[in-house]
């Protein structure tokens, strides 16, 4: 069972920056996708950004040009640099690791979440 531990959330003014980090308890090498999701109050959890084992990245339209995802397989970490933050970015941010198994169902692992609050 992979454990994911997030850090770096907090309170920031609009226009500011925060960096979230997520450390995995096991190696992040292999067929997997690491990413960040968020959930605002009374809303469904949504994808923010992903980073695959091949190096490809994917961003939600709402964060393109403002957020940057990166991963370090040597340290088993994935990070999310968030710039030009807006109040609508306020949410609990969750780290995700999806292990891909060819011909079988993938397995998702989640962190406990970290709160990001952007004030006006």
Mean pLDDT of the 54-62 span: 97
- Cα 48 from Cα 58, distance rounded (Å): 8
Question: What pLDDT, on the 0 to 100 scale, is given for residue 1?
Answer: 87
pLDDT of the residue at 30? 87
110: β partners: 96
Other C-beta atoms closer than 10 Å to the C-beta of 66 total: 15
The answer to whether 34 and 22 have CB atoms below 8 angstroms apart is yes
Reported as a single tens digit per residue, the pLDDT across 81-119 is 999 999 999 999 999 999 998 888 999 999 999 999 999
């Amino acid at each position: 069972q992979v454990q994911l531990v997030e850090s770096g959330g907090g309170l920031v003014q609009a226009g500011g920056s925060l960096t979230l980090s997520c450390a995995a308890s096991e190696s992040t090498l292999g067929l997997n996708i690491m990413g960040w999701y968020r959930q605002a109050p009374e809303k469904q959890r949504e994808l923010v950004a992903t980073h695959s084992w091949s190096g490809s990245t994917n961003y939600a339209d709402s964060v393109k040009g403002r957020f940057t995802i990166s991963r370090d397989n040597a340290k088993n970490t994935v990070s999310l640099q968030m710039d030009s933050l807006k109040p609508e970015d306020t949410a609990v941010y969750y780290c995700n690791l999806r292990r891909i198994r060819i011909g079988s169902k993938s397995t998702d692992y989640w962190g406990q979440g970290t709160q990001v609050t952007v004030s006006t």
